Amino acid sequence: MSFITELKRRNVFRVGAAYGIVAWLLVEVASVVLPTFGAPDWVMKVVTFLVVLGFPLALILAWAFELTPEGIRLETAVDPTEPVIRKARSKLDFAIVGLLVLAVVYFAVDKFVLKAELEQAEVAAKPVPAAEPAARERSIAVLPFTNLSDDASNEYFSDGISEELLNTLTRVTSLRVASRTSSFSFKGGNTAIPDIAAQLNVNHILEGSVRKAGNRVRITAQLIDVESDSHLWSDTYDRELDDIFSIQKEIAEKIVAELTQSLNAGEIIARSITPPTTDTAAYEIYLQGRYLLALRGSENLEKAARLFEQAVEIDSSFAAAYGALGKTLSLLPFYQLGSDRKSSTEKSEAAIDTALRLDPDQTEALLARGLDAMFLRWEWGEARVAFEHALRVSPNDAEVHNLYGDYFHIIGDFANAEKFERRAMELDMLSDVHARDMAHLMISIGRYDEALAYAQRALELHVSADGYYPLILSQLRLQNFEAAREAILQLVALPGVDPGWHLLMWTTYYDAQQDSDRARPYYEKLKEAAYSDKMFAAFTAEFALDIDGIETALELMELADVRRENWLLYLHFSFPEEKSTDPRWLAFWEKPGLKELIELRRSYRADQGAN
């Protein structure tokens, strides 16, 4: 019998394997437990030494003794062929396997669980390096300067100073400037500066006052850091009114310089503030026109247009006045049903051409060019070029973002429409116009819950029939008919609302429920108003398809085309075949401008569907 065979027979290999596994487990457990109880290092060394020393002793004992049911006996006193001996060896094999499994489990837990937790604890225990200070957002609101003059009619002058300063600051690319609409909404109120800043989400406020008496003017301005509740800068200017342009230039340059220093906003800034005209009388008339332009409404816009015309008669090189005239004439048809759009367009285009010849970067002229190209001439490429140019010149102008968003909405590029409309809302947080436009956009996209929320926000900011319209449409799309009916009743109760809105809403309400019988009485009156230039024909044509038939619908559509109604372009008629497949109806959308519009919509729908 060989020596190796004898070692196997005497269980020396089995005992060595078992001892090795137990010894390893013992050392591993001791390395964890002993430090927990604060044992000195030498204790662990002794344990390891004893474990190593015991290994040869275990092998010697395995050679000399045999494990039997009666206990441990000398190997020479045991018959190795007895069944009980073979059974004892089998039990030892099972014990070794069990110990091996236990060792593997312990190794896995130690390697992949305990070690990972220890590393996380070590990372957490390490001191966190000081973070780089976050870049402070640069934002400001220019509040309307208070008119301290004895003559209340000088309000236009104090507002004009504020607006010119605001327009200057919007040219700073990295500075977010609250829009005129939002900032001027606090005019005449007693809202505290911190509350204004919170509502406009800005960290700086520019405020001031203007006192004009005879040929003298005193202007006070101060820049406030809202977060630290401190004045960064303030100054008072006493000057002769005859030198109004250099006064305004000096004030604007001084404030912009202080902002550059205080807000670190010097990347792109209009340091060269050129007086818009050299004629004092023309400039004062221009400021009066701007005051009325901001108020909107048919009557105010007509008066503003006449004032701008007077200003350019006095100074034929007054680019800003030409731009304001072009914009006013472009907006006027939106406030006048049945207006002579052709005549208005010719006048606005002439003013726009002159403004851009004098100043190619005149923002209002660029916006007016985009409006005319989009709503009146249906030149989609030209409109985009104009809006893109305006955006480069005035990247923080809320109106630029809003109108560019309208453009993308009309051509069906909903991703860009949402991007620009949201930016307009950020810049002009208290404008109901942007909230309404977002509501209409969400309706076009099919996100009706969001549309409802934006419509409600618009009404919170300003109650109007224009605001109720998307609210009612959203409720109807969501099939909340009772809520829509309640909203219509609220609209009807509003004072001063054109009765045409009542007819439009009740027709919409019953048509949405496919109740032509109940819709017809309202529709007939609506149709009569459309034919007599008291209601949009495009609105009425949509109902005519359901109630009257294709002939009446086409008559109204042709009328809307002649009038160049802006509602003709919105997504009520998104894709012609979705409303009717009648060849005459489809032929209408082959008109120049409309055909290109539908092709643009199809291309964007395909792109959005692919995404």
Asked whether residue 272 carries a pLDDT value surpassing 50, the answer given is: no
Report if residue 493 sits inside a domain: no
Residues 220 and 347 in one domain: no
The more confident residue out of 386 and 242 is 386
Calpha distance 611→609 (Å, rounded):
5
Average pLDDT over residues 482-509: 93
Report if residue 517 sits inside a domain: no
Residues 230 and 337 in one domain: no
Average pLDDT over residues 205-228: 85
Residues 235 and 151 in one domain: yes
Average pLDDT over residues 480-500: 93
CATH number of the domain residue 209 falls in: 3.40.50.10070
The more confident residue out of 95 and 389 is 389
Beta-strand relationship, 216-225 and 176-177: unpaired
Using one digit for the tens of pLDDT, what is the confidence trace for 411-462?
999 999 999 999 999 888 888 889 999 999 999 999 999 999 999 999 999 8
Q: Residue 318: which of 290, 295, 346 has the closest Cα?
A: 290
Residues 319 and 243 in one domain: no
Report if residue 500 sits inside a domain: no
Last residue of a domain, one of 223, 249, 275: 275
Report if residue 27 sits inside a domain: yes
Calpha distance 611→606 (Å, rounded):
9
Range of the domain at 32: 3-125
Phi, psi (deg, nearest 5) at residue 360? -60, -15
Using N-to-C axis directions, what is the helix angle for 414-427 and 594-610, rounded to 10°?
Answer: 90
The answer to whether 224 and 204 have CB atoms below 8 angstroms apart is: yes
Last residue of a domain, one of 342, 376, 395: 395
Report if residue 307 sits inside a domain: yes
- Residue 307 tokens read as 């004032």
Using one digit for the tens of pLDDT, what is the confidence trace for 292-329?
887 777 788 899 999 999 999 999 999 999 999 999 99
Residues 79 and 190 in one domain: no
Long-range CB contacts (< 8 A, 24+ apart) of 237-241?
Answer: 240/215, 240/216, 241/212, 241/214, 241/215, 241/216, 241/217, 241/280
Calpha distance 348→242 (Å, rounded):
31
CA angle 347, 351, 356 (to 5 degrees): 150
Residues 51 and 110 in one domain: yes
Asked whether residue 207 carries a pLDDT value surpassing 50, the answer given is: yes
Long-range CB contacts (< 8 A, 24+ apart) of 587-591?
Answer: 588/554, 588/557, 588/558, 588/561, 591/561
| Predicted pLDDT at 405 | 96
**414-429 burial string, b = 16+ CB within 10 Å, else e?**
beebbebbebbbbbbb
Residues 11 and 75 in one domain: yes
Is residue 565 helix, strand or coil? coil
CA angle 402, 264, 218 (to 5 degrees): 80
Report if residue 312 sits inside a domain: yes
Calpha distance 118→222 (Å, rounded):
57
In DSSP notation, 146-176 reads: EE-SS-GGGHHHHHHHHHHHHHHHTT-TT-E
| Predicted pLDDT at 180 | 82
The answer to whether 190 and 412 have CB atoms below 8 angstroms apart is: no
Calpha distance 352→500 (Å, rounded):
33
The winner for highest mean pLDDT among 18-32, 187-201, 295-309, 585-599 is 585-599
Asked whether residue 34 carries a pLDDT value surpassing 80, the answer given is: no
Phi, psi (deg, nearest 5) at residue 430? -105, 20
Residues 299 and 179 in one domain: no
| Predicted pLDDT at 222 | 87
Calpha distance 519→505 (Å, rounded):
10
Residues 153 and 267 in one domain: yes
| Predicted pLDDT at 585 | 95
Residues 145 and 271 in one domain: yes
| Predicted pLDDT at 490 | 96
Report if residue 230 sits inside a domain: yes
| Predicted pLDDT at 177 | 85
Using one digit for the tens of pLDDT, what is the confidence trace for 132-164?
333 456 788 999 998 888 777 778 888 887 887
Phi, psi (deg, nearest 5) at residue 146? -75, 135
The CA-atom distances, in angstroms, between 348 and each of 7, 16, 410 are 111, 103, 22
Using one digit for the tens of pLDDT, what is the confidence trace for 524-562?
999 999 998 888 898 899 999 999 999 999 999 999 998
Calpha distance 303→328 (Å, rounded):
10
Q: How many domains does the chain have?
A: 3
Confidence of residue 404 (pLDDT cuts 50, 70, 90): very high
Report if residue 212 sits inside a domain: yes
Last residue of a domain, one of 379, 395, 411: 395
The one-letter amino acid at 252: A
| Predicted pLDDT at 331 | 85
Residues 319 and 270 in one domain: no
Q: Provide the mean pLDDT of the chain.
A: 80
Residues 198 and 298 in one domain: no
| Predicted pLDDT at 117 | 45
**47-76 burial string, b = 16+ CB within 10 Å, else e?**
beeebeeeeeebbeebeebbbeeeeeeeee
**Continuous segment of H or E residues that includes residue 77:** none
The answer to whether 477 and 499 have CB atoms below 8 angstroms apart is: no
- Of the chain, the percentage scoring pLDDT greater than 90 comes to 38
- Residue 366 tokens read as 């660029």
Model-level pTM? 0.70
Half-sphere exposure of 273 (CA within 13 A, CB side): 23
Average pLDDT over residues 43-54: 72
CB 105: neighbour CB atoms within 10 A?
A: 10
CATH number of the domain residue 372 falls in: 1.25.40.10
